Amino acid sequence: MSETPIWRRDFPYTSAGEEGVTRREFTRFLMAASVAAAGSGGLMAIWAQLRPINTGEARPVAELAEIPIGGSHLFQYPTDRDPAILLRLAEDEMVAFSQKCTHLGCVVFWNPEDTVLECPCHEGFFNLEGRPIAGPPERPLGRIELEVRDGTVWALGAREGMT
């Protein structure tokens, strides 16, 4: 007479694989995960190589007279879904950046008191060149080239970090 455990009598249900996973099966699973990881990296590399980067076309984004010195102006560039910020640092000195934080994509804002661009999500800070100076971001903000034409500020194109 076979000894049936008490728990088996109380719970007489079985399922496939309940005997456990052997080392060989587990190693096979790990091998598949390993190949999948390499393949995923390859797909990302191919995607990064082939995807087009929209650097935008030249278009007016603001009237110079409407932006006070030391102030900022929000606009969208290169598409209507890409928030950007323009900073007027001096009479004839302006810079513009993508507002997407390069950490996790939160919107950065201009902090005139500390003269930094600040990401409120994880306390990321960028200087006036768009370089990260504190917090988790490690890549610079996307920079937008500007030009003033007859009192109007034009965005000419985006570079560095614009995706």
Examine residue 98 and tell whether it contacts other proteins (CB under 8 A): no
Between 108 and 147, how does the x/- string for binding to other proteins read (CB under 8 A)? -------------------------------x--------
Residue 133, token pair as written in the block? 């100076």
**Pairing verdict, β 59-63 and 83-90:** unpaired
Q: Which is nearer to other proteins, 8 or 28 (CB)?
A: 28
Between 44 and 83, how does the x/- string for binding to other proteins read (CB under 8 A)? xx-xxx---x------------------------------
Radius of gyration of the chain (CA): 27
Examine residue 42 and tell whether it contacts other proteins (CB under 8 A): yes
Selection from 111, 99, 107 nearest residue 71 by Cα: 111
Residue 37 CB neighbours (<10 A): 10
**Pairing verdict, β 109-111 and 83-90:** unpaired
Between 11 and 30, how does the x/- string for binding to other proteins read (CB under 8 A)? ------------xx-xxx-x
Q: Which is nearer to other proteins, 32 or 69 (CB)?
A: 32
The alpha carbon dihedral of 46, 55, 136, 108 has a sign of negative
Q: Which is nearer to other proteins, 85 or 137 (CB)?
A: 137
CA distance 21 to 105: 41
Q: Report how far apart, in Å, the C-alpha atoms of 75 and of each of 3, 17, 19, 23 are.
A: 77, 58, 61, 58
Q: Which is nearer to other proteins, 42 or 112 (CB)?
A: 42
Q: Which residues contact other proteins by CB under 8 A?
A: 23-24, 26-28, 30-31, 33-35, 37-38, 40-42, 44-45, 47-49, 53, 102, 139, 161, 163
